[in-house]
């Protein structure tokens, strides 16, 4: 026969474990949604420009644009990561343009991020930018409240 104090100890342990499991499960979606620019671009890349807001004409931020550089191979990497509508597919573009060189974009319907876009850019200037649309809108939308922009489209920057 199990004593009443032993039963209370077992019940307390089960309740504590259940509460811990609930807290752990509740925290997992937030952790899963967090995607770092470094993990997207890969090993060897360091962040050069951190968290450029990608926002609408009205100031609503849909996500952040990142520019990274790899000294080992001389490549830049661009990615844009959602902070709104994470998990819902929406049209996004991440773009990189190397002065006197190539340009490349990654465009499509993505749930978390666009990119990585990588180009060789050692000792060269770059332009980088991103666009993001509401999940229900399209790239052909002319409604300024449904599209967000961010980055350096007009001037060459980060000349190395």
pLDDT digits (tens, 9 = 90+) for 120-149: 999 999 999 999 998 876 666 656 567 899
**Pairwise CA distance, residues 150 & 28, whole Å:** 29
CA dihedral 119, 121, 122, 128 (to 10 degrees): -120
Instruction: For residue 19, give the H/E element and its range.
Output: helix 4-33
pLDDT digits (tens, 9 = 90+) for 58-108: 999 999 999 999 999 999 999 999 999 999 999 999 999 999 999 999 999
Average pLDDT estimate for 10-35: 39
Structure token digits, residue 6: 């032993």
């Amino acid at each position: 026969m199990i004593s009443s104090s032993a039963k209370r100890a077992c019940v307390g342990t089960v309740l504590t474990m259940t509460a811990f499991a609930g807290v752990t499960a509740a925290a997992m979606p937030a952790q899963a949604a967090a995607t770092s620019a470094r993990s997207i671009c890969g090993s060897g890349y360091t962040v050069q420009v951190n968290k450029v807001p990608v926002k609408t004409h009205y100031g609503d931020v849909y996500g952040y644009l990142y520019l990274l550089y790899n000294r080992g191979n001389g490549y830049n990497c661009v990615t844009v990561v959602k902070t709104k509508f994470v998990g819902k597919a929406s049209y996004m573009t991440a773009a990189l343009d190397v002065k006197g060189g190539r340009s490349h974009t990654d465009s499509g319907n993505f749930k978390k991020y666009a990119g990585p876009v990588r180009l060789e850019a050692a000792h060269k200037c770059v332009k980088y930018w991103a666009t993001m649309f509401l999940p229900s809108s399209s790239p052909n939308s002319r409604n300024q409240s449904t599209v967000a922009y961010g980055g350096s489209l007009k001037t060459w920057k980060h000349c190395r």
